[in-house]
Structure formats: structure tokens, C-alpha cells
Structure 1
Amino acid sequence: MFGAIIGGMADTDRIPLDRTDEAILQVLQDDGRISTADLARRVSLSPSATADRVRRLVDAGVITGYTATVSATALGYSIMAFVRLAYPSGNYKPLHDLLEVTPEVVEAHHVTGEDCFILKVLARSMSDLERLTGRLATLGAITTNVVYSSPLTRRTLGPA
């Protein structure tokens, strides 16, 4: 079984892909549980050649991991928010320490602009979100945006 995550490479690290590699990546992003035999049929290769291609894509760093996508709502997290943090110092250790012990922060991005970080946060309730943002606010000024809905939650990638 496969489940693909693509990313993490700089432009200078770009790996040349042919149409078969691109087809493999598309199928794996659409159906990460596909068997090697079914993947091989979908891309018109033998199972052994397909397994070799997938292994090469992993070794080259094109496929960077395997995962399952889960429903935050089904796990009790009914609120999603983005918290922008204006971090006042260049010492990021307190932020990294807080991220380490705050599993409700599911993404953290160091960004340009007035804010230094954008954090994706999941919460069980508004009072839970208030608790989480209170902890984050100890590090610097925050702005919180609660998500109403998400018309696009994931998009598959092809070569740039």
C-alpha cells in the first residue's frame, strides 16, 4: 500500500520526471492505498517496474512520506483557525518548545510580512481555541481567523 506526500525540495533539487513518473505520482496522490499491482495496471507497467519507479521516487526525495488523512471533526476538533503571530525576537526556541507540546497546532509556517508565523490550529470548542490562542499570545501579538468552511482542502501536485 502507498500513500504519498510530495514536497520539501528546492527548485535546484528538482528531479527530472517522465510521463510515467508523473502518472505514478498522480495516482498515488489520488489513492494512497492502491496496491502495486493496481498502480502498475493504471500506469501500464509491470508490477516490478512500478515498484522500482516508486522506490526511485522515494530515494530521490520526490515522495517524502506516507500517511493517512483523517477527519479532524471525527476526532473531536470542530474548529479550525489560522493564527498569525508577530514574533518579537529572533530567538525561536520558545516557539519551538511551545509547538512541541501543543498538538492542536498542526501546521506552522515562518512567513514574510508583518506577521512572522502562520499557524493552523484545531480546537474542540471556542473555549478550547481561546485557551490555545492565550498560550500562543504569550509569545507575541496574534491575530486569529476562524475557518467557516474550506472549499479546497487538498490539491494534488504535478511538476512545476
Structure 2
Amino acid sequence: MDALDGRLIRLLAEEPRIGVLECSRRLQVARGTVQARLDRLQTKGVIGGFGPEVDPAALGYPVTAFATLEISQGQGAVVREHLAGVPEVLELHTITGAGDMMVRIVARSNADLQRVIDRVVGFEGIVRSSTAIALENPVPYRILPLVDQAAAE
């Protein structure tokens, strides 16, 4: 990761519909250089995709919550499969600490959140859960400050 990689990633993040040729023009490097860098960044897993950013609230799911789940020993795989089948589960992380997994879930309302939680925890492999509703998101998911830091090192 160098400064050019950082500038390329920032450009793509700011203007995701930009083409390789326009990237090369703006970065003042050859088109082949941009393509080679993109290919390398994708191969290394630095860039995982070029899909649109979708806002759950704009889709009608304005409530975000985080649930910490404790699972039965040896049930990790089946719980993961269960959670992957719940559309309102946006993320799943295995964690250390008081719980075993943390999920980010969305719902249409607080009342709908209860339905989603019931669906999430209504599974034999889940022993206990604790849920916190997010009130606001003052620092939304971001990656560019980290890209800038990595490119400067």
C-alpha cells in the first residue's frame, strides 16, 4: 500500500462510478498502472467490491440495534447458518468477552425490532441475548482515514 494506492481508493470511494480511464487521467498515471493497481488491490482483498452503498433507513428500516448472543457449545456453525437466513441481520461477528457473537440488526420500528429479536433468538443454539438500540450514528462506518494512514506509512 503506497500513496498512489491510497489516492486511487479514495477516488473510487468518492466517485464509485468513475471508470479506469478517468481514474488514470485524474491521478495522472497510465491507464495500465491504474488497472494493475486495481487488480492487485482486489487480489489482496483490500478492495472487496464496487457495489452501491445502501442505507437501511431509506429502505424502511430506520431502527438499528446490536445484540450480543451467547450460544451453546459446539453450535457455532448452525447458529451462523440460522443468522445468515435472517434478512434483518446485517453483520455477524464472533467476539470475546461476555458473549460469543454480536449481530447488527435493523427493523422497521421498535415494535418490529421485537419480531426480529424473537426470530434471531428463537433458535435452540442461542442460550441468551442482550440487545442495545442505537440512538444515532455520529461516526458512520468509514474506511478512508485508515486508508490514508496505511498509505502514509
Superposition TM-score, scaled by structure 2 size: 0.84
Structure 1 distance, partners of 2:33, 2:96, is 43
Shift of 1:126: 1.7
Deviates more, 1:74-83 or 1:134-143: 134-143
Whichever structure has more helix as a proportion of its residues is: 2
Q: Which residue identity lines up with residue 84 of structure 1 in the other structure?
A: T
1:114 aligns with 2:98: yes
Judging changes above 3 Å, is the alpha-carbon distance between structure 1 residues 18 and 109 closer, same or farther for their aligned structure 2 residues?
A: same
RMSD: 1.7
Shift of 1:151: 0.5
Q: Which residue identity lines up with residue 146 of structure 1 in the other structure?
A: I
Structure 2 distance, partners of 1:128, 1:50, is 46
Aligned length: 144
Q: Counterpart in 2 of 1:92?
A: 76
Q: Which residue identity lines up with residue 31 of structure 1 in the other structure?
A: E
SS in structure 2 at match of 1:140: strand
| Pairs within 5 Å for 1:33-48 | 33-48=17-32
SS in structure 2 at match of 1:143: strand
Q: Percent identity?
A: 29
Check conservation: 1:77, 1:124, Cα contact below 8 A. Answer: yes
Shift of 1:121: 0.2
Shift of 1:41: 2.6
Structure 1 counterpart of 2:127, from 140, 147, 159: 140
Q: Which runs of 5+ in 2 are unaligned?
A: none
1:59 aligns with 2:19: no
Q: Which runs of 5+ in 1 are unaligned?
A: 1-16
Superposition TM-score, scaled by structure 1 size: 0.81
Structure 2 distance, partners of 1:150, 1:123, is 16
Check conservation: 2:89, 2:106, Cα contact below 8 A. Answer: yes
Shift of 1:153: 1.0
Q: Counterpart in 2 of 1:153?
A: 140
